[in-house]
């Protein structure tokens, strides 16, 4: 429900629903349960998209602590997603050193979980490429965007929106 409200542009309703989902998970599952970590991650992503960075970071970190404390119950794909989203948060704050380190960790996790040809790995690669692009390191950005493009083209084809977005990013790096 929160995601639907968010997609419809009702940020107030979406936030209320994300908070409610988190509170329910804490009450029913417990504050340290991996399902609560998932609720934390979803709410954190919403907050990050609203540029409420401090609170989003706090929630991402809390989710990661839960996952670390319960490795047997944690879905490694969820952990990789949280790490990637935390890296994006740092990127949006222009904390490039933290973004780079976190996104590299996300790439390592995603590669181990999903494999070298999975679109989710391409997403992580593209995020690290944006980090380098914003620092004007066009060589590393281009290498990473190119790898992401190859994965997206094989997985989804040339006309998929993610493929087209990476093509546009690559084009922006090359002189016209």
Domains of the chain in start order, with CATH, are 1-74 (1.25.40.10), 83-176 (1.25.40.10)
Query: Nearest 10 degrees: CA dihedral of 59, 85, 79, 162?
Result: 150
**Would the pTM count as exceeding 0.85?**
yes
Mean predicted confidence (pLDDT) in 78-104: 98
Q: CA distances (Å), 29 to each of 17, 57, 94, in order?
A: 17, 22, 36
Question: Which tens digit of pLDDT belongs to each residue from 34-74?
Answer: 999 999 999 999 999 999 999 999 999 999 999 999 999 99
Q: Give start and end residues of each alpha helix (H) in the chain.
A: 2-7, 11-28, 34-49, 53-69, 76-92, 96-114, 119-134, 138-156, 161-173
Q: Can you tell me the mean pLDDT for 15-32? A: 95
Residue 160 has pLDDT above 70, yes or no: yes
- pLDDT of residue 6 exceeding 80, the answer is no
Supply the pLDDT for residue 176: 64
Give Cα 163 to chain centroid, integer Å.
Answer: 17
CA angle 58, 23, 88 (to 5 degrees): 30
100-158 tens-digit pLDDT: 999 999 999 999 999 999 999 999 999 999 999 999 999 999 999 999 999 999 999 99
Q: Are 168 and 133 in contact (CB under 8 A)?
A: no
- CB 106: neighbour CB atoms within 10 A? 27
| 55 vs 70: CA distance, rounded Å | 23
């Amino acid at each position: 429900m929160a995601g639907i409200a968010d997609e419809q542009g009702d940020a107030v309703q979406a936030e209320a629903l994300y908070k409610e989902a988190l509170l329910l998970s804490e009450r029913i599952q417990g504050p340290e349960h991996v399902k609560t970590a998932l609720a934390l991650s979803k709410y954190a992503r919403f907050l990050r998209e609203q540029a409420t960075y401090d609170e989003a970071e706090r929630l991402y970190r809390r989710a990661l602590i839960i996952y670390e404390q319960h490795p047997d119950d944690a879905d490694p794909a969820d952990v990789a997603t949280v790490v990637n989203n935390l890296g994006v948060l740092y990127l949006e704050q222009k904390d490039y050193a933290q973004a780079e380190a976190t996104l590299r960790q996300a790439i390592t996790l995603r590669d181990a979980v999903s494999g070298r040809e999975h679109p989710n790995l391409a997403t992580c690669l593209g995020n690290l490429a944006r980090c380098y692009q914003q620092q004007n390191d066009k060589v590393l950005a281009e290498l990473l965007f190119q790898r992401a493009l190859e994965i997206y083209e094989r997985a989804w084809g040339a006309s998929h929106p993610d493929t087209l977005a990476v093509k546009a990013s690559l084009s922006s790096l090359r002189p016209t």
